[in-house]
Protein backbone atom coordinates (compact mmCIF):
# COMPACT_ATOMS: atom_id res chain seq x y z
CA UNK A 1 0.00 0.00 0.00
CA UNK A 2 1.49 3.31 -0.95
CA UNK A 3 1.65 6.05 1.64
CA UNK A 4 -0.19 9.28 0.84
CA UNK A 5 3.05 11.19 1.30
CA UNK A 6 5.10 8.92 -0.92
CA UNK A 7 7.47 10.48 -3.45
CA UNK A 8 5.88 12.08 -6.46
CA UNK A 9 5.67 9.86 -9.54
CA UNK A 10 7.97 10.48 -12.44
CA UNK A 11 11.15 10.59 -10.40
CA UNK A 12 10.75 14.19 -9.27
CA UNK A 13 12.41 14.56 -5.89
CA UNK A 14 12.01 17.12 -3.15
CA UNK A 15 13.86 17.74 0.04
CA UNK A 16 11.32 15.63 1.91
CA UNK A 17 10.42 12.68 -0.22
CA UNK A 18 13.17 10.16 0.55
CA UNK A 19 12.66 10.60 4.27
CA UNK A 20 8.93 10.16 3.99
CA UNK A 21 9.12 6.47 3.36
CA UNK A 22 7.01 5.17 6.17
CA UNK A 23 8.36 1.68 6.13
CA UNK A 24 11.99 0.70 6.49
CA UNK A 25 13.63 -1.16 3.63
CA UNK A 26 12.52 -4.71 3.00
CA UNK A 27 14.51 -7.35 4.80
CA UNK A 28 16.36 -9.55 2.33
CA UNK A 29 15.21 -13.13 1.96
CA UNK A 30 17.63 -15.17 4.04
CA UNK A 31 17.73 -18.10 1.63
CA UNK A 32 19.18 -15.96 -1.15
CA UNK A 33 20.93 -13.13 0.62
CA UNK A 34 22.79 -13.99 3.82
CA UNK A 35 22.20 -11.49 6.61
CA UNK A 36 25.87 -11.65 7.54
CA UNK A 37 28.99 -13.51 6.57
CA UNK A 38 29.36 -16.61 8.67
CA UNK A 39 32.68 -16.78 10.43
CA UNK A 40 32.86 -20.54 10.89
CA UNK A 41 34.64 -22.53 8.22
CA UNK A 42 32.63 -25.57 9.21
CA UNK A 43 29.28 -25.29 7.35
CA UNK A 44 27.40 -27.20 10.05
CA UNK A 45 28.65 -24.84 12.75
CA UNK A 46 28.02 -21.80 10.59
CA UNK A 47 24.42 -22.82 10.11
CA UNK A 48 23.85 -22.46 13.86
CA UNK A 49 25.48 -19.06 14.29
CA UNK A 50 22.83 -16.54 15.25
CA UNK A 51 22.51 -13.38 13.22
CA UNK A 52 24.30 -10.45 14.91
CA UNK A 53 21.88 -8.54 17.13
CA UNK A 54 24.19 -6.26 19.07
CA UNK A 55 26.09 -3.83 16.88
CA UNK A 56 27.56 -2.06 19.93
CA UNK A 57 29.15 -5.27 21.17
CA UNK A 58 30.42 -6.04 17.67
CA UNK A 59 32.27 -2.72 17.65
CA UNK A 60 33.27 -2.80 21.33
CA UNK A 61 31.31 0.34 22.18
CA UNK A 62 29.81 0.53 25.68
CA UNK A 63 26.11 1.11 26.17
CA UNK A 64 24.45 3.97 28.01
CA UNK A 65 23.38 2.57 31.37
CA UNK A 66 21.77 4.60 34.17
CA UNK A 67 23.79 7.61 33.02
CA UNK A 68 26.43 8.26 30.43
CA UNK A 69 29.55 10.31 30.08
CA UNK A 70 31.48 11.23 26.96
CA UNK A 71 34.97 12.66 27.06
CA UNK A 72 38.26 12.32 25.22
CA UNK A 73 39.07 9.09 27.04
CA UNK A 74 35.59 7.63 26.48
CA UNK A 75 34.53 9.08 23.14
CA UNK A 76 31.73 6.71 22.12
CA UNK A 77 28.55 5.32 23.60
CA UNK A 78 25.80 3.25 22.00
CA UNK A 79 22.05 3.24 22.55
CA UNK A 80 19.90 0.12 22.46
CA UNK A 81 17.44 -0.43 19.62
CA UNK A 82 14.63 0.78 21.88
CA UNK A 83 16.53 3.89 22.98
CA UNK A 84 17.39 4.54 19.33
CA UNK A 85 13.87 4.52 17.92
CA UNK A 86 11.30 5.50 20.57
CA UNK A 87 10.45 9.14 21.17
CA UNK A 88 13.09 11.72 20.45
CA UNK A 89 16.60 12.63 21.49
CA UNK A 90 17.06 15.94 23.27
CA UNK A 91 20.41 17.70 22.97
CA UNK A 92 20.70 20.38 25.65
CA UNK A 93 23.27 23.14 25.24
CA UNK A 94 24.57 24.96 28.29
CA UNK A 95 26.34 28.16 27.36
CA UNK A 96 26.20 30.21 24.21
CA UNK A 97 23.91 28.44 21.75
CA UNK A 98 24.38 31.08 19.08
CA UNK A 99 26.09 29.79 15.98
CA UNK A 100 25.28 26.14 16.63
CA UNK A 101 24.48 24.17 13.53
CA UNK A 102 23.41 20.67 12.59
CA UNK A 103 24.53 18.67 9.57
CA UNK A 104 22.58 15.58 8.58
CA UNK A 105 22.84 12.76 6.12
CA UNK A 106 20.10 10.27 5.31
CA UNK A 107 20.33 6.67 4.28
CA UNK A 108 19.78 7.71 0.65
CA UNK A 109 22.91 9.93 0.80
CA UNK A 110 21.07 13.25 0.85
CA UNK A 111 22.69 15.84 3.07
CA UNK A 112 21.78 19.18 4.56
CA UNK A 113 22.04 21.48 7.53
CA UNK A 114 19.70 23.07 10.05
CA UNK A 115 18.28 25.50 7.53
CA UNK A 116 17.29 22.65 5.23
CA UNK A 117 15.89 19.78 7.26
CA UNK A 118 13.43 17.28 5.80
CA UNK A 119 10.03 16.57 7.28
CA UNK A 120 9.24 13.02 8.28
CA UNK A 121 5.93 11.24 7.70
CA UNK A 122 4.51 12.86 10.83
CA UNK A 123 5.30 16.28 9.36
CA UNK A 124 7.94 16.97 11.99
CA UNK A 125 11.39 18.21 11.06
CA UNK A 126 14.10 15.59 11.27
CA UNK A 127 15.84 17.84 13.79
CA UNK A 128 14.69 21.17 15.16
CA UNK A 129 15.89 23.82 17.62
CA UNK A 130 14.58 23.39 21.14
CA UNK A 131 13.74 26.10 23.62
CA UNK A 132 15.99 24.67 26.35
CA UNK A 133 18.23 25.76 24.29
CA UNK A 134 19.41 22.91 22.15
CA UNK A 135 17.92 20.55 19.60
CA UNK A 136 15.38 17.75 19.31
CA UNK A 137 16.06 14.83 17.00
CA UNK A 138 12.98 12.74 16.16
CA UNK A 139 13.55 9.00 16.35
CA UNK A 140 10.43 7.51 14.74
CA UNK A 141 12.26 7.38 11.43
CA UNK A 142 15.75 6.86 12.83
CA UNK A 143 16.28 3.99 10.42
CA UNK A 144 16.32 6.50 7.57
CA UNK A 145 19.25 8.34 9.19
CA UNK A 146 22.88 7.76 8.46
CA UNK A 147 24.36 10.44 10.71
CA UNK A 148 23.65 13.76 12.36
CA UNK A 149 26.47 16.09 13.36
CA UNK A 150 25.84 18.81 15.96
CA UNK A 151 28.34 21.67 16.10
CA UNK A 152 28.60 23.75 19.27
CA UNK A 153 31.07 26.62 18.80
CA UNK A 154 30.28 28.34 22.11
CA UNK A 155 28.81 25.70 24.41
CA UNK A 156 30.30 25.10 27.83
CA UNK A 157 28.63 21.73 28.34
CA UNK A 158 26.28 19.61 26.28
CA UNK A 159 23.94 16.89 27.53
CA UNK A 160 21.99 14.29 25.61
CA UNK A 161 18.71 13.38 27.30
CA UNK A 162 17.06 10.06 26.46
CA UNK A 163 13.35 9.27 26.63
CA UNK A 164 13.53 7.81 30.14
CA UNK A 165 15.39 10.85 31.45
CA UNK A 166 18.82 9.25 31.31
CA UNK A 167 21.41 11.98 30.75
CA UNK A 168 24.61 11.55 28.80
CA UNK A 169 26.95 14.33 29.92
CA UNK A 170 29.50 15.51 27.37
CA UNK A 171 32.60 17.11 28.87
CA UNK A 172 33.87 20.51 27.88
CA UNK A 173 35.42 21.24 25.41
CA UNK A 174 33.33 19.08 23.09
CA UNK A 175 32.83 20.98 19.86
CA UNK A 176 30.99 18.33 17.86
CA UNK A 177 28.59 15.58 18.82
CA UNK A 178 28.21 13.07 16.01
CA UNK A 179 25.28 10.63 16.04
CA UNK A 180 25.56 7.62 13.75
CA UNK A 181 22.88 5.05 12.99
CA UNK A 182 24.21 1.59 12.43
CA UNK A 183 22.06 -1.55 12.24
CA UNK A 184 19.26 0.17 14.14
CA UNK A 185 21.47 1.41 16.96
CA UNK A 186 22.52 5.00 17.51
CA UNK A 187 26.13 5.71 18.40
CA UNK A 188 27.15 8.98 20.08
CA UNK A 189 30.67 10.24 19.37
CA UNK A 190 32.57 12.97 21.19
CA UNK A 191 34.82 15.30 19.19
CA UNK A 192 36.82 18.10 20.84
CA UNK A 193 38.73 19.29 17.79
CA UNK A 194 38.88 23.05 17.41
CA UNK A 195 36.91 23.95 14.29
CA UNK A 196 37.03 27.63 13.29
CA UNK A 197 33.68 27.54 11.54
CA UNK A 198 31.07 25.17 10.22
CA UNK A 199 32.83 24.85 6.88
CA UNK A 200 35.72 23.15 8.70
CA UNK A 201 33.24 20.77 10.31
CA UNK A 202 31.78 20.05 6.88
CA UNK A 203 35.20 19.31 5.50
CA UNK A 204 36.23 17.14 8.42
CA UNK A 205 33.03 15.06 8.25
CA UNK A 206 32.80 14.86 4.49
CA UNK A 207 29.71 16.98 3.96
Partner 1 sequence: MSPVTLIRGANASVTNLLPAVSNVTVGFSWTVVQSNGPATEVVACAIVCGQDGKAVSGEHVVFFNQMLSPDEEVAYDPDGSLPGGDLEQIDVSLAKIPSNVMSIALVLYVNPDLRTPGTFDGVRDAVVRVLDRSGAEALRYEIETKDVGSTSAVVAAELYRRGNEWKFRAVGQGYAGGVRDVAKNYGFTL
Binding to partner 1 by CB under 8 A, coded x per residue (else -) over 23-62, reads xxxxx-----------------------x-x---------
Q: Of the candidates 68, 118, 138, 153, which one interacts with partner 1 according to CB under 8 A?
A: 138
Q: Of the candidates 34, 62, 122, 154, which one interacts with partner 1 according to CB under 8 A?
A: 122
Q: How many CB atoms lie within 10 A of CB 78?
A: 23
How many chain residues bind partner 1 (CB under 8 A)? Answer: 34
Tell whether residue 86 is a contact of partner 1 (CB under 8 A): yes
Tell whether residue 158 is a contact of partner 1 (CB under 8 A): no
Binding segment for partner 1 among 101-109, 119-127, 187-195, 196-204 (CB under 8 A)?
Answer: 119-127
Q: Of the candidates 7, 18, 75, 87, which one interacts with partner 1 according to CB under 8 A?
A: 87
User: Measured between alpha carbons, how far is residue 165 from residues 68, 89, 105 in Å?
Assistant: 11, 10, 26
Tell whether residue 184 is a contact of partner 1 (CB under 8 A): yes
Q: Which is nearer to partner 1, 63 or 202 (CB)?
A: 63
Residues that bind partner 1 (CB under 8 A): 1, 23-27, 51, 53, 80-88, 90, 121-124, 128, 130, 136, 138-140, 142-143, 162-164, 184
Amino acid sequence: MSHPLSPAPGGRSTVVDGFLRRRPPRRPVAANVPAATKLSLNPAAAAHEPAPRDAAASYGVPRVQAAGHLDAAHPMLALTRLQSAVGSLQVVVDGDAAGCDVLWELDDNRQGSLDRVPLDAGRRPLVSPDKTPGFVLGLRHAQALRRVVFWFPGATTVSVVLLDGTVVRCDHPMSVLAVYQLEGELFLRYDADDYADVSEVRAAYGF
